Chain A
Amino acid sequence: NAGVMQNPRHLVRRRGQEARLRCSPMKGHSHVYWYRQLPEEGLKFMVYLQKENIIDESGMPKERFSAEFPKEGPSILRIQQVVRGDSAAYFCASSPRVNTGELFFGEGSRLTVL
């Protein structure tokens, strides 16, 4: 049973480019969370999705960031016109049920903006 798969593991972008981060949840999990982690800081909640629905995006910046979890395929976190401040590790986690707190994390995607 494969775990949460994230790709790419490392991504380098220049300012103004777009970054797309993908997350395939564990088999049987329909709840996906995205978190951002800056060096020496904790995990900051960004967005919670279920299949085809954004349930809570209160942690997402209002501009340039978007997320989706289509009926088929992985969840995608998209960052348009990246800036240096977007450099961080982005973790995806999945859960089999809502509000269980048993989040299973992927290995993360580390974005570096030059």
Chain B
Amino acid sequence: QKEVEQNSGPLSVPEGAIASLNCTYSDRGSQSFFWYRQYSGKSPELIMSIYSNGDKEDGRFTAQLNKASQYVSLLIRDSQPSDSATYLCAVNLQTGNQFYFGTGTSLTVIP
């Protein structure tokens, strides 16, 4: 079982719609959860972090964490073509210092 799992997609949504990206993790003791965005050929950039159960909102982005279900999600409201990218879920495992990344979900926002 992989430490972090994401649906690879691709996920396509029309402009203005809500994009929902999901991630599950295996280490129940994980404490820190992150969403990175990676444009094609570019490096990942941090867009959201979440540490406690519930929702965290930042502009058009909302991260949701459910530790009991070992599930973290990212919602993008009013999706824009510029949101088209690969979204990587990352988890800081309790057992070590490294951060494990999922394989990413490719999102395309159709104008």
Contacts and interface: CB of A to CB of B under 8 A. Distances in A.
Given A43-B88, A101-B34, A108 B99 contact: no
A104 B46 CA distance: 8
A99 B32 contact: yes
A69 interface: no
Contact of B92 (A55, A56, A91, A101): A101
Interface residues of B, number: 22
Contacts of B90: 101, 103
B42 A48 contact: no
A94 B97 CA distance: 13
B43 interface: yes
Contact of B98 (A45, A91, A105, A107): A45
B96 interface: yes
Interface in A71-114: 91, 98-108
B61 to A, nearest CB: 16
A63 interface: no
A65 B59 CA distance: 42
Nearest to B8: A40
Contacts of B32: 99-101
Contacts of B80: none
Interface string A55-75: 110110000000000000000
Given A103-B90, A103-B99, A106-B43, 17 more contacts: A33-B98, A41-B103, A42-B101, A43-B44, A43-B88, A45-B99, A48-B98, A56-B96, A56-B97, A58-B96, A58-B98, A91-B43, A103-B44, A104-B46, A105-B43, A107-B42, A108-B43
Interface of A: 33, 35, 41-45, 48, 55-56, 58-59, 91, 98-108
Interface of B: 31-34, 42-46, 49, 88, 90, 92, 96-104
